[in-house]
A and B are shown apart, each in its own frame.
Chain A
Amino acid sequence: DQQVKQNSPSLSVQEGRISILNCDYTNSMFDYFLWYKKYPAEGPTFLISISSIKDKNEDGRFTVFLNKSAKHLSLHIVPSQPGDSAVYFCAASESGGGADGLTFGKGTHLIIQP
């Protein structure tokens, strides 16, 4: 059973607008959440993370929001740029990412249209 779910396989957004990528999780033991971006033929690249004790973390154009009661997080990209077109993975960790590694969702393919 998927513990991290990204229910939108793809998302198309116009350049300059806001991109919102969503992620839901079922395991209440997750205490850290991360977003990764992946281009074809490359490994995932770390974007931004958030601890479960926070509800928001911002880094430049990227902001992650966490709603623990709903077990939901989202990644906002403002403004969206053509280079943001990639697959975005939501990932979660128990115990600070120790022995369990990271649990990933299936990814959302973001397409930025000119």
Chain B
Amino acid sequence: DTGVSQNPRHKITKRGQNVTFRCDPISEHNRLYWYRQTLGQGPEFLTYFQNEAQLEKSRLLSDRFSAERPKGSFSTLEIQRTEQGDSAMYLCASSFSGIEQFFGPGTRLTVL
């Protein structure tokens, strides 16, 4: 399968814990995006990498959220000190042209 993959698919954590999600983009894609989707809403853009450079991070929801893309391959999204309001689907997408983005299946986070 050469699509975008995300791990884990589901994560249940207790409030205050840190969580990290991984995204592996389509191999030839140099752009990688993170989105969050809550119930009844469309995906909400969080941050964007071109190769290893994080070109946009002002949309990250708070300073508890951070993302990395070492070596321009896979990416990780970390949420520190999770809150119940962080419960959502976290989606990763990758692109070569930057216009048509291809999404992974998402990681569903539940914060108890």
Contact = CB atoms under 8 A, between A and B. Distances in A.
Interface of A: 4, 32, 34, 36, 41-46, 49, 89, 91, 93, 96-107
Contacts of B6: 43
Q: Give the contact-size bracket for chain B.
A: 20 to 34
Contacts of A43: 4, 6, 91, 93, 103-106
B56 A106 contact: no
A102 B45 contact: yes
Given A99-B48, A99-B55, A102-B45, A34 B100 contact: yes
Interface of B: 4, 6, 33, 35, 40-46, 48, 55-56, 59, 91, 93, 95, 97-106
A41 B9 CA distance: 9
Contacts of A36: 103
Most chain A CB within a 10 A radius of its CB, from B43, B48, B95, B103: B43
Contacts of B59: 101
Nearest to B55: A99
A97 B103 contact: no
A93 B40 CA distance: 21
Nearest to A104: B42
A43 B33 CA distance: 13
A4 B98 CA distance: 19
Contact of B103 (A44, A100, A103): A44
29 contacts: A4-B42, A32-B99, A41-B105, A42-B105, A43-B4, A43-B6, A43-B105, A43-B106, A45-B103, A46-B100, A46-B102, A46-B103, A49-B99, A49-B100, A89-B43, A96-B99, A97-B95, A97-B97, A97-B99, A97-B101, A99-B48, A101-B45, A101-B59, A102-B35, A102-B43, A103-B45, A104-B42, A104-B44, A107-B42
